[in-house]
Amino acid sequence: MFTLSLSDIKTGVTYSDKTSVIQALATWLQQDGHVAPGYGDCLLAREAQASTYLGQGVAIPHGIRDGRKLIKHTGIKVMHIPAGVAWGNGHIVYLALGIAADSDTHLGLLQQLARRLQKGGLLEQIMACDNPAAVLALLQAPPEPTVVPQHLPIPIPLTRAHLALQITSSSLAQLVTQAADLLGLEGREKAAFQQSSPLHIGQGWWLCQAEASYPDAAMLTLKTAPDTSQASSVVGLLALQVNGQEHKALLDRLGHWLAAGKGAELAGKASPEEFWAALAQGPESRRTYSEKTLQVYNEHGLHARPSAMLVHTAKSFIADIEVRNLTLDGPWVSAKNLMQIITLGASAGHELVFRANGPDAEQALAALAHSMNENLGESSLAISSESEPTALAASPVLAANISANTRFTGVTASPGLAVGPIFVDLPLEFDYPKQACDAEAELQALSHALTRSRADLAVTETRVTDPYAKELMAMHRELLADTSLTLGVQCRIQRGQSAAAAWWSEIDTLTRQQAANKDALLADRAMDIRDVGHRVMALLCHRQQPQPPSHPYIWVAEEISPSQLVNLDTRQLLGWVSVGGGASSHSAILAAALGIPALVAVDESVLTVPSGTTAILDGATATLCLAPEASLLDQARGWQQQDQQARDKAWEQRHQAATTRDGHLVEVGANVADTREAADVVAVGADGIGLLRTEFAFMARRQLPDVAEQQAMYQTALDALVGRPLVARTLDIGGDKPLLYYPRADEDNPALGVRGIRLCRQQPQWLENQLRALLLAAGKRPLRILLPMVTDIAEWRWAKALFDSIQDEIQAPDVQLGMMVEVPAVALNAEVFAAEVDFFSIGTNDLAQYTLAIDRGNGALAALADGLNPAILKLIKMTVTAAHQQGKWVGLCGELGADPVAVPLLLGLGLDELSVSLKQVALVKSHVRQWRLSDCRALAEQALMATDAAAVRALVMQAKNGVAIAQGEQAGSH
C-alpha cells in the first residue's frame, strides 16, 4: 500500500494556470526520481483527453497510458494552492495530486479520497489547511467511525450494534429473538421474524430472513463450543431484513467461509473488528491472494456471453477467484458465478481486479488475462449501428375481430418483406399455489426441474449449428447452475413457499434488477434470465408452450425469447414481430443472421389479434398490416416477386458497367470495413473500393497497428482489387467509434467533438504512420486517400503538408488526396477546398446528421433524418459544382447512394461515383441503367426546389412510373 509522507506535500504555493501546476508537479516527480523527463507532456496529454478534476477543489493529474514507460517508481506529489487555479469547465483546484503510478498500490489512497469527496465538506477542510501535516492528516484521515470500513466490499451496513459475538443463548429460537432485538424489530415485525423458520446453511450457521421495507443485517455468534457433527448445532446466526439483492453479498461472504469448511473458525472471532475483517477478506488472509488488474475490451462490455466465457475459464481452476469492478469501485464477487459477474456492470474500458487464492491461483489469473485479452471469445468489431425506423404512435386496442388493413408500426430489427398468416404466441399463464407444506417435496421438484432444464438445454446445444445459438444455450445452462439463485429459492421454500412461487420470486427480482441496468445491452440480458425462468416454471407447473403451426407463418409474441428462436424450425418462419425487445437483443441479432424480416417495439394490442390472420410485414416501412384487403395483398406479393426478379437480373448483369440509357458512365464502388472483404468486391461487380473505413481495423485491435501491420492490411485490399482503385479513408475515430485503448475526452456531444481529422491533429504520429503505410502498400496501383471530418481549411492544409512530406520520400505514382464532405460548412465553402483537393467524397450519413441536427443513431427521429431533404441536395449540388469547375471528381459514400429513389437525383446532381455496401452494388448498378442522364438532371433541378424530403420522393416516384411506362412502351414496340 502506498503511503504519503510530509516531504510529498507543499502548501501555500501559487500558480497562475493549470499548465504551470502540472509542469511543476512533473518537475518535482522527476527531481525525486519517480519519472524521466517528458512526463509533464503525458500529464498534459491526459488533461487534453479528459479533465482530471475530481470534485470539491481536488484534481489528480496523471499520465496517459503511453507515459508509463517514463515512470521509474510510483510517486505522488501534492500541492496545496490556497488561491486556487482554474482547471477548466469553471472548476477551481485547491489541492492537486500529481501521480506517477507504475502499479495499483496508490489506488487505496485514491479510493479513500474519492469516498471522502462523496461525503461533502472536504473543500472547507482543504481551505483550512495551512501546513503539510494538516494536508497529510486530511488525505489519510481514518474512515468513518463504524465497525465497517467503507472500503470493505459488503454493501449492507452491518454496524457494530448489529454484531453480537460470543454471546450465550439457550436455544436457536432465543437466538432469533436476540437477532430481532438487534435489528430493532418490534410488534408485528418482530413476531413475524420470530415465526420465520431458520435454515441451517452449514457448520452450525443458521440463516433467518424476512422481507422488509429496507435492507438490514445482524450477525450473532455463540460462546458455546460448536458441534458441527450435528445439523442442529448452532455456532452463529445471520439475520437478514431482505429488500432487493443487497443481502446477497453478505450471504456470499459467509458462504466463502462455509465452502472452506471454516464456519466455526469465523464464529470464533472475538472482536467485532477481527470478525468483520475476516468476513470481508474471506477464509484465507488477504495477503495470500494473487491479484491482477485487467481491462474489458469487449465492445459491449461483459454482457452474458463473454461473462459465461469468463465463468467457464474461472471454473476450470481450483483457486477461489473473485473479481471487482475497479472503475465503478464495486464489491468483490465470485468469478465463478455468472449472475454475479453480470452484476459487475462491466462496460468496455472498465478495469476489473481479479484476486485468486489456491494452489493454481497464478495459472488461473494468467488464463483469465489471456481470455480477457482475447475479448472472451468475442470479436471486438462494432455491430453496425444503422439507424432504425421510428416506433410510431400506438394503434387502437383491437377486438378479436380485426378490421381490414389494420396497421401496426414498430422498429425494424431485420429488413425484408413477409406475407402470410400470423401465429400469436401468448405467454404461458402459470397457475401455482403460493405456499406448500412439504418443503422436502418442493425442494425435490425444484431440483428435478433444474436438472431437466439443464438436460434440455444441453440437447438443444448439441442440435443447433449456429455458433451464436450454441453459446446462448451454454450461457442459459450456466445461469441455471448459479448457486446464489438456487440458494435464494431454497431459502424461500424452507420458509413455506411452493417451489414455483419461490423460483418465480427470485427470477422476477433478478430480471427487474438486470433490466434496470444503465447499459442497454446488459439490460437486454434480463430477457435471458426470464427465458431461463420460464423454462423451469413450465416444468414446475406442468405446462407446455403451444406449438407453432407446421405451415409458413409470421410469429407474433410479447417477447420472442432467444431459446424459442433457437428451437424454431426456421424453414416455416416468414418473419417475426415482438412487443418488447430491443434492436440489439439476441433475438434481433439471430433474426438478422437468419435473414428473417423482424419488427420489435410493436404495440401490445397486436397480441389480441387472432392467430391465422393474414399479415404483411414490411421491414422497409417498419409496419405490420393485418387483414390486408385483396388488392394490398396482391400488391405485396407482386412486390416480393418483382423484388426477387430484379435482384436476380441485377446479379446476372453485375459485371456490366453502370451506364445510363444515354451513355453516361458512373462508377459504383463498394464500402468495406475490413480489408479481408476486399476479395468480395470484384465478385459483386464493384468498380473498386469506394470507401475503406480503416478505423474498424484499429477498433478491432488492442493497440495501434504499426506501419508494417497496416501496410500488410492495405496490401491485401489492393491485391484483391487487381488494378481497381482503393479509396482508403484515414482514421475516423471519435463520435460513435471509440478506440478502447485511447480513452476519449469526456465530451457532452462526441459527434460534435474530437473525431476524425481533429483527433489526428492531436495525434499526428497516427496519421503519419497511416499515410506511410498506405503509400508503401500502393506501389504503382491506384490509391485515393480520403480525410474524414475536415471542417476548416487549416485542417486540410496541415494533413496535406504531412502527406506531401511522406509522398516526397515514397513517391507512389498513382495517388490522390481528397476529403470527405460531411460537415455543411465544407459544402458551403466548397470552392475554397475544391481548389486544393484532388477529389471529394460526400458522406451523407454525417452530412444529414449535421445539417438536420438529428443524431444519426437516434431511432426515434429516424423518419425525419431523410437524406433527400432538399437542404442536403443543395449542399451536394454546391459541392459538385465547385469540384467540377476545378476539374475534380466527386463521389458519394453515405447510405443514401443505395436508396433507389436517390439514385436518379444523385446522377442528375452530377456525382461521378457512388459507393455502397457490398450487398447493394449490383442493384445500384441496375438502377443507374434504368435512367437517362438528361431526365435525371431535370428531375434534380425540380427536387432542389421541392419543399421537403417527402415531396422529393413523390417527385421521383412519379418520374419512375413515367420511365417504367416509357420502357414498357418501348419494349412493346419491338
List residues bridging with 206 in a β-sheet.
Answer: 200, 237
- What the block records as the C-alpha cell of 309 is 466465457
SS (H, E, C) 905-944: HHHHCCCCEEEEEHHHHHHHHHHHHCCCHHHHHHHHHHHH
The site partner of 731 among Mg ion, ligand PEP, none (C-beta below 5 to 8 Å per kind) is: none
Residue 843 Cβ vs Mg ion, minimum distance, rounded to whole Å: 4
Selected range binding Mg ion among 79-87, 604-612, 648-656, 845-853, rule: CB under 5 A: 845-853
**Minimal CA–CA distance to 73: which of 111, 39, 115?**
39
Q: Could you tell me the end-to-end alpha-carbon distance of the chain, in angstroms, rounded to an integer?
A: 90
Output the CA torsion sign for 678, 680, 684, 685.
Answer: positive
Largest CA distance in the chain: 108
The site partner of 322 among ligand PEP, Mg ion, none (C-beta below 5 to 8 Å per kind) is: none
CA 6 to chain centre: 44
Q: Binding of ligand PEP at residue 155 (CB under 6 A)?
A: no
Residue 902 Cβ vs Mg ion, minimum distance, rounded to whole Å: 17
CA gap 526, 510 in Å, rounded: 8
Q: Binding of ligand PEP at residue 845 (CB under 6 A)?
A: yes
Cβ nearer to Mg ion, comparing 216 with 822 = 822
**Of these, 388, 667, 822, 935, which contacts ligand PEP (CB under 6 A)?**
822
Q: Binding of ligand PEP at residue 786 (CB under 6 A)?
A: no
Residue nearest to ligand PEP (CB): 843
Selected range binding Mg ion among 584-592, 671-679, 819-827, 855-863, rule: CB under 5 A: 819-827
Q: Binding of ligand PEP at residue 693 (CB under 6 A)?
A: yes
Selected range binding ligand PEP among 106-114, 178-186, 546-554, 837-845, rule: CB under 6 A: 837-845
Selected range binding ligand PEP among 221-229, 345-353, 411-419, 844-852, rule: CB under 6 A: 844-852
SS (H, E, C) 582-619: CCCCHHHHHHHHHCCCEEECCCHHHHHCCCCCEEEEEC
Q: Binding of ligand PEP at residue 755 (CB under 6 A)?
A: no
Catalytic-role residue among 586, 625, 760, 936: 586
**Of these, 299, 461, 846, 899, which contacts ligand PEP (CB under 6 A)?**
846
Helices (H) and strands (E) in the chain, counts: 36, 30
Strands 726-729, 216-222: pairing kind: unpaired
Q: Binding of Mg ion at residue 705 (CB under 5 A)?
A: no
Radius of gyration of the chain (CA): 33
Subset of residues 888 to 927 that bind ligand PEP, contact rule: CB under 6 A: 893-894
Cβ nearer to ligand PEP, comparing 406 with 844 = 844
Q: Binding of Mg ion at residue 843 (CB under 5 A)?
A: yes
Q: Binding of Mg ion at residue 47 (CB under 5 A)?
A: no
Cβ nearer to ligand PEP, comparing 298 with 917 = 917
- What the block records as the C-alpha cell of 641 is 416477386
Selected range binding Mg ion among 443-451, 737-745, 820-828, 830-838, rule: CB under 5 A: 820-828
The site partner of 893 among Mg ion, ligand PEP, none (C-beta below 5 to 8 Å per kind) is: ligand PEP
List residues bridging with 10 in a β-sheet.
Answer: 79
Residue 627 Cβ vs ligand PEP, minimum distance, rounded to whole Å: 39
CA gap 288, 622 in Å, rounded: 58
Residue in the structure block whose three cell numbers are 437525383: 905
Contact 90, 19 (CB under 8 A): no
What torsion do the CA atoms of 900, 867, 622, 735 make, to the nearest 10 degrees?
130
CA gap 675, 693 in Å, rounded: 9
Residue 687 Cβ vs ligand PEP, minimum distance, rounded to whole Å: 17
Cβ nearer to Mg ion, comparing 556 with 916 = 916
Size of the site for ligand PEP (CB under 6 A): 10
**How many residues are recorded in the chain?**
974
Cβ nearer to Mg ion, comparing 402 with 825 = 825
Residue 691 Cβ vs ligand PEP, minimum distance, rounded to whole Å: 6
Output DSSP code: residue 530.
H
**Of these, 52, 340, 511, 844, which contacts ligand PEP (CB under 6 A)?**
844
Cβ nearer to Mg ion, comparing 517 with 869 = 869
Residue 629 Cβ vs ligand PEP, minimum distance, rounded to whole Å: 39
SS3 205: strand
Catalytic-role residue among 491, 541, 625, 893: 893
Residue nearest to Mg ion (CB): 846
In the shown chain, the binding pattern of residues 484 to 523 toward ligand PEP, with x for contact by CB under 6 A and - for none, equals: ----------------------------------------
Contact 482, 507 (CB under 8 A): no
**Minimal CA–CA distance to 870: which of 941, 820, 937?**
941
- What the block records as the C-alpha cell of 487 is 440458494
- What the block records as the C-alpha cell of 708 is 508494417
Cβ nearer to Mg ion, comparing 782 with 843 = 843
Active site residue 542: no
Cβ nearer to ligand PEP, comparing 253 with 737 = 737
**Of these, 320, 461, 524, 846, which contacts Mg ion (CB under 5 A)?**
846
Distant-in-sequence, close-in-space partners of 933: CB < 8 Å, separation ≥ 6: 660, 662, 663, 664, 907, 908
Q: Binding of Mg ion at residue 524 (CB under 5 A)?
A: no
What one-letter code names the amino acid at 566?
Answer: V
Which phi and psi angles does 194 have, rounded to 5°? -65, -30
Q: Binding of ligand PEP at residue 843 (CB under 6 A)?
A: yes
Selected range binding ligand PEP among 36-44, 151-159, 582-590, 840-848, rule: CB under 6 A: 840-848
The site partner of 844 among Mg ion, ligand PEP, none (C-beta below 5 to 8 Å per kind) is: ligand PEP
Contact 530, 511 (CB under 8 A): yes
Active site residue 91: no
Residue 857 Cβ vs ligand PEP, minimum distance, rounded to whole Å: 11
The site partner of 413 among Mg ion, ligand PEP, none (C-beta below 5 to 8 Å per kind) is: none
Instruction: Give per-residue burial for 815-844: e unless 16+ CB within 10 Å, then b.
Output: bbbbbbbbbbebbebbeebbeebebbbbbb
Residue 151 Cβ vs Mg ion, minimum distance, rounded to whole Å: 45
Cβ nearer to Mg ion, comparing 8 with 732 = 732
Cβ nearer to ligand PEP, comparing 354 with 850 = 850
Burial class (CB in 10 A: 0-12, 13-18, 19+), 612: exposed
**Minimal CA–CA distance to 152: which of 337, 247, 281?**
281
Instruction: Give per-residue burial for 750-764: e unless 16+ CB within 10 Å, then b.
Output: beeebbbbbbbbebe
Residue 748 Cβ vs Mg ion, minimum distance, rounded to whole Å: 20
Q: Binding of ligand PEP at residue 355 (CB under 6 A)?
A: no
With residues binned 3-state (H G I as helix, E B as strand, rest as coil), the percentages for the chain, rounded to 5, are 45, 15, 35
SS3 320: strand
Cβ nearer to ligand PEP, comparing 613 with 841 = 841
Cβ nearer to ligand PEP, comparing 325 with 915 = 915
59: number of CA atoms within 13 Å, CB side? 31
Strands across the sheet containing 290-295: 290-295, 351-357, 320-325, 333-334
Selected range binding Mg ion among 348-356, 474-482, 654-662, 818-826, rule: CB under 5 A: 818-826
Residue 846 Cβ vs ligand PEP, minimum distance, rounded to whole Å: 3
Q: Which residues are catalytic?
A: 586, 893
Judged by the rule CB under 5 A, the positions of this chain that interact with Mg ion are 822, 843, 846
Judged by the rule CB under 6 A, the positions of this chain that interact with ligand PEP are 691, 693, 732, 822, 843-846, 893-894
